[in-house]
A and B are shown apart, each in its own frame.
Chain A
Amino acid sequence: MEMRAIYAECLDRLMAQDKHVVLLDADLAKASGTIKLREKYYGTQIFDCGVAEQNMASIAAGLSSYGFKPWIESFTPFASRRICDQIAISIAYAKQNVKIVGTDPGISAELNGGTHMSMEDIGVLRSIPELVIFEPVDGVQLRAAMPVLNDYPGAVYVRLFRKELPDVFPADYKFDLFKADVLKEGRDLSIFVSGMLTKDVLDAAETLEKDGVSCDVINIHTIKPIDREAVLASAKKTGAVLTVENHNVIGGLHSAVLEALAKEKIPVCAVGVMDRFGEVGKLPYLREAIGLTKENIIRTAKEAVTLK
């Protein structure tokens, strides 16, 4: 099942339960998978703002001030850098309860190419005080997270991969918005990963194990506030760290982990977007071009261990 279908199914449930849950769109309901919800909710709980994301963000803040629980959605670049000031002032500074969903993060924008391929959204938003940043890794986690996000009384940015992702978590997964999830335990290296690359990291860890490198694999689903305890505990245990993300290594997960480990003498290597823009292409091409491959994860993991 596609992530957007799960997202829409969860929103449907939340809107059916509470008429104060509302969804605002900026002409991308089809892409976000929420167009079908309009049959039930358009004009009462769903509104299309047209191609005007800034207005959408501030309208959501106004609705929140009136007691509503607004969700807004667009492609990642238009749900972050385009509306950065509206997120900062109308939403975060004003302490409004708005959930901001950015779809197609990083290279997953594929054929829309560089203009739609946000390598910087986490970096742009992470420096806005009090904003929570969440990136789900699979449908199980997203399903568990949606009601928690809806109930969280503050602003959250949700970085949502739209298409299908392989399941990483078991059906009985227990979700905590502020706790990282240990997916695999090891001795030699800590790999912190967010979003769509999590399954690749698990596959890489299997190969690494055979090559004699035993890895902790930890999913950082909430990049801000990062679970410092989990990061510190694992990094101190293994003594070497690798971060893996579909985002610029400047400003995203790599930076967040480095900040958590600033006082530790532990090497930290990165697999991510090496400060470059995106380009058009399908995922297999883009993974190779940008360096987000299982092979690169394995190579960089081994390098991290040698730096101990």
Chain B
Amino acid sequence: MKQNLKKIALDIRCDVLTCIGHLGVGHIGGCLSVVELLTVLYFEAMRIDPKDPKMAGRDRFICSKGHAGPAVYATLANRGYFDKKELLTLNRGGTNLPSHCDMNRTVGIDMTTGSLGQGFSCAVGVALGSKLEQDCATIYTLIGDGESQEGQIWEAAMFAASKQLDNLIAFTDYNKLQIDGTVEEVNGIAPLDEKWRAFGWNVIDVEDGNDIDEVSAAVEHAKLGKGSGRPTMVILNTKKGCGVKWIEDLGAGNHNTNLSAEQAEAAIRELRGEA
């Protein structure tokens, strides 16, 4: 049991609620669904140094679903990239923490993302760059399930397999919801695992993508893909809005929704078992 990682994930989840609650609105659902992944990456898997955020040859994380910015910022703050107080500036005029990830504004962000599909191609370019430099870095990237409807995702998938980019580990936040409804209703992407296999990728299916132990084991497993000549896709079956019952119950409505400071505080008390 990874008790320490679980505690960190709880802190990050609470910080996401605090900063979005402080603002009053945000992409809560898709932030809360990826907290366990971010925790495992930044506190266990990645070779990074918060004191040297531009370290040559570091592992990189590219959040192609750029609207999960607040979850990445909360993770970076907990990892020591910047002061947690800065999280309260989220999405305010002049902030360094805009709704979608911006590498030119935020310490620790490796790529500007927000126009869906593009960050994934950028990650493929970064993986190619790392191969050319022979620096042995691992490139991690996260896409959304709704984002998987973008044609560019599959252009990049084809290229990454064709160029044997086995230093690339991608994750799908498979929470099965998008703004207009369920992914299958809107424009179905199932069977996702078979699609990625058919595109020449290693595929790892994680039954509960919000379980730290499962995610940690999957990332360890994915790292073994280096040397296979194939990039790896880890499909994380997650819950959109994970951790706060009433937000989970909003379903597709929790993509970008109002959250008051009081609601955030109540949710945090519930999460910490203080209710």
Chain A interface (Cβ < 8 Å from any Cβ of B)? 22, 44, 47, 49-50, 52, 54-55, 57-68, 85-86, 88-90, 93-95
Contact = CB atoms under 8 A, between A and B. Distances in A.
Nearest to B152: A54
B112 interface: yes
Most buried by B among A52, A86, A90: A90
B121 A90 contact: yes
Contact of A93 (B112, B117, B158): B112
Contacts of A86: 115, 118, 121, 152
B126 A65 contact: yes
A49 B159 contact: yes
B156 A66 contact: no
Nearest to B157: A55
A95 B152 contact: no
22 contacts: A47-B128, A49-B159, A50-B158, A52-B155, A54-B152, A55-B121, A55-B156, A61-B118, A61-B121, A61-B125, A62-B122, A65-B111, A65-B125, A66-B125, A85-B115, A86-B121, A89-B112, A90-B112, A94-B103, A94-B111, A94-B112, A94-B122
Contacts of B103: 65, 94
Nearest to A68: B129
Contacts of A47: 128, 163
Contacts of B104: 94-95
A60 B118 contact: no
Contacts of B102: 94
Interface of B: 62, 102-104, 110-112, 114-115, 117-130, 132-133, 151-152, 155-156, 158-159, 162-163
Given A55-B152, A85-B115, A94-B103, A65 B122 contact: yes
Given A47-B163, A52-B158, A95-B104, A66 B130 contact: yes
Contact of B159 (A55, A65, A66, A90): A55
B15 to A, nearest CB: 26
Given A44-B132, A58-B120, A65-B126, 4 more contacts: A59-B156, A62-B129, A66-B126, A68-B132
A224 to B, nearest CB: 21
A198 to B, nearest CB: 36
Given A44-B132, A52-B159, A54-B155, A62 B115 contact: no
A59 B129 CA distance: 9
A61 B117 CA distance: 13
Contacts of A68: 129, 132
Contacts of B124: 55, 58-59, 62
Contacts of A64: 125
B240 to A, nearest CB: 25
A22 B125 CA distance: 12
B126 A58 contact: no
A299 B132 CA distance: 56
A89 B125 contact: no
A89 B132 contact: no
B206 to A, nearest CB: 26
Nearest to B122: A62
A141 B257 CA distance: 54
Contacts of A67: 129, 133
